[in-house]
Structure 1
Amino acid sequence: MSDLPQADRIAGLPHPCETEHLFGHDGACAQVLEAFNGDRMHHAWMLTGPKGIGKASLAYQIARFLLAADPPGDSLFGTPPPATSLAVPADHPVASRIRAGSEPGLCILRRPVDDKTGKLKTVIPVDTVRELRQFFSLSAGGNGRRVVIVDCIDDMNANAANALLKVLEEPPQEAILLLVTHQPGRILPTIRSRCRTLACAPLSPEDLQRAFAQALPGHAFDPGLIALAAGSVGQAAELALTGGAETYRAIVSLSQGLPQLDRSALLKLANSSGRANDGKLDQLLNLLDLFLARLARAGVSLPGQEAASGEAEVFARLCPGPAAARIWADAQLELSQRARQGKMANLDPSSLILDMGLKIEETASKILREKGLS
């Protein structure tokens, strides 16, 4: 694969096309196999589900299978037996070419690199979609099929989406489009209506650990990642590579002192946010938001697996019931808005975290005061 930035690759992890074993999506694979064996293969599939659960890896598995399978129709040796798996050996020529980015039957649409800045563009522009014209104009080789993977369609601007719609309205013969989306509700209804939906669910704890071991061999799996990653192996791997689980433990440890925060510990957490554009601030803000969301849910639902030691005790004390849950939910919304506004205004990251800490302290004081515990 190219050394240039890739919008469909998480830094430090193998590219989805390199995923050898797919975990947790047996149902989706079965739907594709049933359609293929029944000669009812739809020309466009929309792979939906949360980010990082393996939708892109599934798309590449489907693409490998379609490009490596026997040509459609009866062969000289009769009708081929029904396929029983989408798996293609890693040493198969199609699999090797896909890993090398040289498979002529596969076209990938993703956010391109800006030639001037060398950085990824923020959207998939219409010119990228128009490249499909050249792809489909070439003579089909191999078994005659051609596959397009869009990862992800959420990144398309309006003009690009309209250009893709034209392709979906008049798809070339033996062409299959695999559209990855994390937010299907934001996709044009005219696009959704021309696709068959392939819903992908978050991974179970067992599948999450197996997928994590494949993506990061040699890395120990932190049990807290089961709760923090919510079934997303991409999220679990990112947290593992960036110390996210340790940061979340620091947030829980700090919250144990509420309604009075340890000022030195809060300052240490704030100073860990780094610079506004180096990714550390985003991760810390996301983890604070996750902590508040889990705290609010604790007041209205049964406690789940702890993401950090002592978390359940903190939640039980700070969010004893539905009334407290509503207060924390409101605080989460307010702090989320503050964080977005602070980033847009280029506020000092540590000052932004300190301000959020004081708001959390204020909210905890209100709840515990009304409960008569402070």
Structure 2
Amino acid sequence: MTKKCQVDFQTYSSRSGHVIGRATLNAESSLNALTLDMIQGLYEQLQEWRDDGSVVAIILDGAGEKAFCAGGDIRRLHQSVLGSDHGPNEYGETFFASEYRLDYLIHTFPKPIVCWGAGIVMGGGIGLMAGASHRVVTTSSKLAMPEVSIGLFPDVGGSWILGRMPGRTGLFLGLTGTRINAADAMFTGLADRYLADGSLSDVIEQFKAVSWAGQGREDYLRIDVALRQIEEQQDNVLPASLVRESFDVIQKVTDAGSPMEILSKIQSQDGDFWQRAAAGLEKGCPLTAWLVMHQIQKARHLSLADVFRQELNMAVHCLRGGNFAEGVRALLLERGSSPQWVPASLVDVSPKTVEEYFHSLWPSEKHPLGDL
């Protein structure tokens, strides 16, 4: 086993002589939150495995029992914003560009990647998981894109991910930051298989026993068969999916032209599920809510590469604005305090302000993600 920057890398030999690579995020005390070093180390190792003909598949998981990955290291990002006085921010811009480049690599990886999404999977964790060819959730999985609570936006490909969920469930989840379970993840297309916590070792042993072809498509099918067999043997019962049960109502409440209308419709619903959703949107950053509506709409006909370029434009504007630093302060650094958003309410957000967040700060030929 080798360790780089809080990511453990190891390989397993299979019966056919091929190799399975495993990358384990190992920052358990921070719920495996991604640092820039972790992102860069994982990117470099995936490139090596991509180019190694003996490697046929990758497993991506997180250390400990609490989380696969709770997101990015927003404390360090917060420090970089304050250190740059909300101006050009080399660390922050490098962080987001590197993270999106890693996510894009996973989406387009020519070999199977199995992501073990046990425990908390949020923000940057969703970015890693969504692009994998085989996404596994477990009984402990708790997933969310809660960026509305910190004045960011659902990035890491969120424009692509949320926009491809059934109906307008992605819009609902992005606006409210609603936490979902394994069954919700299966319904919305974030996950492919549901296995028991603690059974990753069984998956690895089954993979070691496979006679791999060493060719992409055939090996994808071998993983499909192996995971399906384990799932059928376990015969686990999925929990109820509140998103699925609420699908028709979600369609109704999101059939609106503004976050204010959507909030009003959600508030008119009865039950804890709707009350929590309303609170998430009402207490969240007003500008973020508008960004969510626009990012999904604008990404509808974009390529995946253009989505990541658009999100980097947005992320850099968020670093230079005040809401991200304010949201992190209130949520993490001074817990219990209320964030002072600017603008302060949904009705105060101007279309001009929203549109500015989508403008690139670089000419097209110099965009940091221009080569995707």
Of the two, which has the highest radius of gyration? 1
TM-score category (smaller protein): under 0.3
TM-score by length of 2: 0.24
